[in-house]
Amino acid sequence: MSWPDAIENLVRKAVARFGQIDGLVNNAGVNYVKPFLEVDLKEWQRVLDVDLTGSFLLTQICARQMKSQGGGGSIVQIASVHTHASLAGAAPYDAAKHGMVGFSKAAAVELAPLGIRVNILSPGLCATEIWKDIVAAAPSEKECIDYWNANIPGQRLITPAEIAKCCVFLLSDDSSCMTGANVFADLGMTSLLVSREPYASKAITEE
């Protein structure tokens, strides 16, 4: 079975079990960290297939199901702070996440008359498998944590449970006026201009 067929099958099984689909969270993702000039087509395509095309297909199929039920429903796309700014070595991932925001906004506009909402949730650094890969690639876990804490105003990782709570809000009627939004859940990461100084500065005043 091809993976597009597997996605169709997933939706059919969900409908068979629950009777209908009211919400969807697209949270699949893979990543390569590799210099732009060294990324090959296979690596590029792998990231786009999982992070972008898979989300597009599942969004489309679920939205069709929601329409057939008479309309209504909420879809949440898990994107990334990479939709705001980039890091070296992240070209395929950035392309996929920007693409997710683009098609989701288009879908939000088209599906709004049907009462189907589509929003994007863009987390910062979260305690997931990708974080484990980041730590494994660093000289030491302490150096890695110190570096990232200097770039996150909240000075910690986000937990998967916190992101889940944001998804619950976006799926629920509490966010009924929201569609086409890209919501950043990042402990202030995208608001930080540069990393914190590794020293204590004196206050700068007019005197």
Residues with a known catalytic role? 93
Tokens coding 198: 């590794």
Token match 């995208």: residue?
Answer: 190
Q: Degrees (nearest 5) of the Cα angle 60, 118, 43?
A: 60
Can you spell out the DSSP letters for 182-199?
EEEESTTGGG-SSPPPSS
Q: How far is CA 45 from CA 30, 77, 93, 195, in A?
A: 11, 20, 10, 32
